[in-house]
Structure 1
């Protein structure tokens, strides 16, 4: 077994609309945690809804300065840590062609495809969202939209934080289980496997006291269905969150039958022993 924690492949800095973290601070934190590799995955959520706390283009990534800063630090830290250039792409059915062009126009090492919205609404930013919606129906609709997005879009490497929606339910996941939505979840997993894509095994909720995304039952089912590709992601927006709960995450992955995780270079995956 390796002594290093898995590479952190889900990180945000000041180039994302919901973070102010300097890239240098994130890198220094990763080094202090003993990581040998990281990948920055700044938000690009086109057609994100505009409201009071989220001005227009909050989650529109300005690529040139982001690319330049990553390139600078790749050289600056080349003897200390391997730094990859990625993006977290917000998937919505109506912007699949725009998203496809964005990915084809850029040279990312790694692309996370994430669903942050339910029918163009954000359950996180809308304070009254859950007052008007049934929790179980919203979760089911989230999975239905995930299927819809995945069926017609291939320009990503892993699906971001599957069952992310559960983080923001009023019950904080108390009423949620894989079995409750297994038909929808299994369809998502089969699509991913058929397309040769993977899962972002995301520790953010676990780090803050909840359950990882996806739920370990989903990760185990993914393995049962033939899934092999997982990346580890802290979803950190501050230096303190880097590699959050990765020791626990590694144990969960091993218990689910995984003995490797994956890193990427120019969208080509490589297996690394856990």
Structure 2
């Protein structure tokens, strides 16, 4: 059983209204012994959309309060999801130096200032061009800044492709995906298995199964598991399915982080 959800949002993320306590109560009901809140911090999100910013001081106060409240029931970790763009590297570096996070996810939400969620990202491009642009953004972000622990939802972009994921395969983008994975590994980073892919009806977690397989072939070993949950009912979404997938690919463990240090959790049968 996977006993930790390491991609969890709360009311501190602009796209969630969930109190932290509700997310913790759900995790306890699922038998988890760790939960890591990773609320969104996306500097310079375009005006007119959600801000994806929170006050770190308030965030840490609330985390300390609920940590004390549930200290005998579950371990609560302090995390953050950074919306990366290469020019923002100094600001994120300063943020992580100032605050004592246990864990940070780096993610590509914006490519050249546009989220693939919006149709304008896809306008004037073929699907292949847009997808490759997204994967290239991950390579560029890792090369610019790598002071987090894992890269999140590597193929998030397929959720919003015009034909969704019907034409997306590892083989089709093997060249740039391999470069992306090698770049991540060379910087000592891991990746996450983000089960929101199941929730969005893709038929697989992020990243797609063949990408996960290739990550292992290239020597990648660091995997966190996260639901990307924004509501209590999302927490631990399809974790049994993800666990069986990882075992079928030959993974023996997944990783949690405490004080930025990896803890290896066995994928027991």
Q: Secondary structure at the match of 1:21?
A: coil
TM-score (norm 2): 0.96
Match status 1:22 vs 2:8:
no
Q: 2:122 aligns with which of 123, 127, 130?
A: 130
Q: Secondary structure at the match of 1:151?
A: helix
What whole-Å deviation, never above 9, does each CA across 1:122-146 have from its counterpart, x for those lacking one?
121x345434432111100011111
Q: 1:40 aligns with which of 37, 40, 61?
A: 37
Q: 1:98 aligns with which of 85, 88, 91?
A: 91
Match status 1:120 vs 2:113:
yes
Q: How does 1:38-117 map to 2 (within 5 A)?
A: 38-51=35-48, 54-55=49-50, 58-117=51-110
TM-score (norm 1): 0.94
Runs in 1 of length 4+ with deviation above 4 angstroms? none
What whole-Å deviation, never above 9, does each CA across 1:223-254 have from its counterpart, x for those lacking one?
11111100000000000000000000001111
Is the 1:143–1:185 Cα contact (8 Å) retained in structure 2?
yes
Equivalenced residues, count: 266
Distance in 2 (alpha carbons) for counterparts of 1:110 and 1:132: 37
**Alpha carbon RMSD of aligned pairs, Å?**
1.2
Distance in 1 (alpha carbons) for counterparts of 2:53 and 2:19: 18
Q: Secondary structure at the match of 1:248?
A: helix
Q: How does 1:159-238 map to 2 (within 5 A)?
A: 159-210=151-202, 211-238=204-231
Which segments of 5 or more consecutive residues in structure 1 lack a partner in the other structure?
none
Q: Secondary structure at the match of 1:60?
A: coil
1:154 aligned residue: 146
What whole-Å deviation, never above 9, does each CA across 1:76-122 have from its counterpart, x for those lacking one?
11111111000000110121111111111111000000001121111
Distance in 1 (alpha carbons) for counterparts of 2:200 and 2:137: 27
Superposed displacement of residue 183, structure 1: 1.3
Q: Secondary structure at the match of 1:139?
A: helix
Distance in 2 (alpha carbons) for counterparts of 1:79 and 1:146: 39
Superposed displacement of residue 6, structure 1: 3.5
Match status 1:242 vs 2:239:
no
Is the 1:113–1:158 Cα contact (8 Å) retained in structure 2?
yes
Distance in 1 (alpha carbons) for counterparts of 2:38 and 2:102: 10
